[in-house]
Amino acid sequence: MDSAEPRLIRQTDDQSGPPDLDQQPADGREVEPSLADLVNLIRRNLRLVGGAAIAVCSCVVVIVLLLPRTYLASASLTPQSGEGRTSRLASYAAQFGLNFPLGDTGPTLGFYVDLLKSREILRPLVEARYEFMMDGKHYAGTIMDLYQVRGRTEALRQDAAMKRLKAAIEVSADPASGLVKLSVRSRWAPLSKRIAESMLELVNDFNLRRRQGQASAERRFVESRLEEAKAELDSAAKRLQIFLERNRDYRNSPLLVFQYDGFSRELSMRQQLYTSISQAYEQARIDEVRNTPVITTVERPELPAKPESRHLVLKGLVALLIGALVGLSGAFGREIRAGHKAKEF
């Protein structure tokens, strides 16, 4: 019996037409779409993808062109180094081993960032009246009037105006340089400059009131402590006087010499402490009425020469890309719906 050689039989699948996107392989693995599939999808739905991209881009460009131009005024400030001084009374008392909680490290840069956007600064800006000329037109009124802020009550109008103004203010701190930078954006160049100037003035006024209030509290404390120091000095002097009256020949007794040295040292210490507190008291009285600026204005705001750039090209390109993605999502949805309908038939 002849042995027949085994023959390899190759099976081929005869496929006609493009592959079905919803068709899964026999082993159940998912088919990952390739770049060619994505290109073919865009070609089949070019009108949808292109139309969505152009529509979104056109809407964004029209909105940007319709929005009013804005003007930016910038400034920067830095706290004076002397503001964070240690209390003179505390430094004097420390020499004698006494501790008075009067140290002042001064506000940080973060404090000024929060202060410039706080109601303490925003409220006077909203309540102030501004008057300026721009493009041959005369403008006058408060922030509420200029921006036509609406509200059922005056308090609600003021609150809405402060929120709007806060959104138009940018404040940042640079720890490396010790600068606090602020910028104000508005529809009118003179208004941006005036608001930035007012912010610098309000911050300085706030710091002056804070420093004078602190100096006033310190002056009252030092004044009471000065009276106590005077009483302690008089008491030490009286004890030494009584000792000398009772022991006129104390030098012949080692014990009396030791007592005399103790009374003398106490009197000397009380005298030095009284002198130091007196100096601190006089300095506190000076600080209480001092009106020198506490901050240094590094960059004063200037009148903006031109409005801010609209970045129309960049915004248009981003809108074009977003519109294309929206159109592509719609194309995917259309293909999926078409595939489901084909399966039903």
Q: How far apart are CA 306 and CA 309, in angstroms?
A: 9
Q: What 3-state DSSP class applies to 297?
A: strand
In a domain, 18, yes or no: no
In a domain, 191, yes or no: yes
In a domain, 226, yes or no: yes
Q: How far apart are CA 117 and CA 112, in angstroms?
A: 9
Mean pLDDT of the region 268-288: 87
In a domain, 122, yes or no: yes
Q: How far apart are CA 137 and CA 185, in angstroms?
A: 19
- Looking at per-residue pLDDT, the higher value among 318 and 95 belongs to 318
Q: Which two tokens stand for residue 323?
A: 């519109």
CATH number of the domain where residue 237 is located: 3.30.1890
The residue type of 248 is R
Q: How far apart are CA 163 and CA 199, in angstroms?
A: 16
Q: Which residues contact 96 (CB under 8 A, 6 or more apart)?
A: 269, 272, 273, 276
In a domain, 23, yes or no: no
Claim to verify: residue 225 and residue 255 sit in the same structural domain: yes
Q: Is residue 312 over pLDDT 60?
A: yes
Taking a C-beta distance cutoff of 8 angstroms, is the pair 187, 71 a contact?
Answer: yes
Q: How far apart are CA 241 and CA 130, in angstroms?
A: 71
Q: Which two tokens stand for residue 301?
A: 């705001």
Claim to verify: residue 191 and residue 232 sit in the same structural domain: yes
Q: How far apart are CA 317 and CA 286, in angstroms?
A: 62
Mean pLDDT of the region 311-327: 83
In a domain, 104, yes or no: yes
- Cα angle, residue 209 at apex, residues 206 and 214 outer, rounded to 5°: 125
Percentages (nearest 5) of helix, strand, coil residues in the chain: 60, 10, 30
Write out pLDDT tens, residues 186-240.
999 999 999 999 999 999 888 888 887 888 888 888 888 889 989 999 998 999 8
Claim to verify: residue 294 and residue 319 sit in the same structural domain: no
User: pLDDT confidence of 33, banded at 50, 70, 90?
Assistant: low
Q: Is residue 293 over pLDDT 90?
A: no
Domain count across the chain? 2
In a domain, 43, yes or no: yes
Please provide residue 16's backbone torsions phi and psi, each rounded to the nearest 5 degrees. -120, 135
Q: Which two tokens stand for residue 211?
A: 């420093």
User: pLDDT confidence of 12, banded at 50, 70, 90?
Assistant: very low
Claim to verify: residue 109 and residue 47 sit in the same structural domain: no
Q: Is residue 17 over pLDDT 80?
A: no
Claim to verify: residue 285 and residue 329 sit in the same structural domain: no
**Cβ neighbours, 10 Å, residue 252:** 8
| Among 275, 261, 183, CA closest to 229 | 275
Supply the mean pLDDT for the chain: 79
Claim to verify: residue 47 and residue 77 sit in the same structural domain: no
User: pLDDT confidence of 291, banded at 50, 70, 90?
Assistant: low
Q: How far apart are CA 96 and CA 103, in angstroms?
A: 16
In a domain, 345, yes or no: no
> Which residue carries 């592959």 as its tokens?
19
Claim to verify: residue 75 and residue 60 sit in the same structural domain: no
Q: Is residue 98 over pLDDT 60?
A: no
Question: Which neighbouring-strand residues pair with 173?
Answer: 180
Domain that holds residue 147: 70-299
Where is mean pLDDT largest: 43-57, 102-116, 168-182? 168-182
User: pLDDT confidence of 84, banded at 50, 70, 90?
Assistant: very low
Taking a C-beta distance cutoff of 8 angstroms, is the pair 48, 327 a contact?
Answer: yes
Write 37-41 long-range contacts (CB < 8 A, 24+).
Answer: 41/328, 41/331, 41/332, 41/335
Claim to verify: residue 177 and residue 230 sit in the same structural domain: yes
Claim to verify: residue 82 and residue 225 sit in the same structural domain: yes
Q: What 3-state DSSP class applies to 301?
A: coil
Claim to verify: residue 51 and residue 78 sit in the same structural domain: no
Mean pLDDT of the region 263-275: 90
Q: Which two tokens stand for residue 201?
A: 């003035």
User: pLDDT confidence of 172, banded at 50, 70, 90?
Assistant: very high
Query: What is residue 85's predicted lDDT score, i.e. its pLDDT?
Result: 47
| Among 190, 214, 217, 43, CA closest to 131 | 190
Claim to verify: residue 281 and residue 332 sit in the same structural domain: no
- Looking at per-residue pLDDT, the higher value among 2 and 254 belongs to 254
Q: Is residue 19 over pLDDT 80?
A: no
Listed range (7-21, 44-58, 281-295) with the worst mean pLDDT: 7-21
Claim to verify: residue 198 and residue 211 sit in the same structural domain: yes
Q: How far apart are CA 54 and CA 223, in angstroms?
A: 77
User: pLDDT confidence of 90, banded at 50, 70, 90?
Assistant: low
Q: How many residues does the chain have?
A: 345
Query: What is residue 92's predicted lDDT score, i.e. its pLDDT?
Result: 52
Write out pLDDT tens, residues 127-171.
999 998 888 899 899 999 998 888 889 889 999 999 999 999 999
User: pLDDT confidence of 48, banded at 50, 70, 90?
Assistant: confident
Q: Is residue 54 over pLDDT 90?
A: no
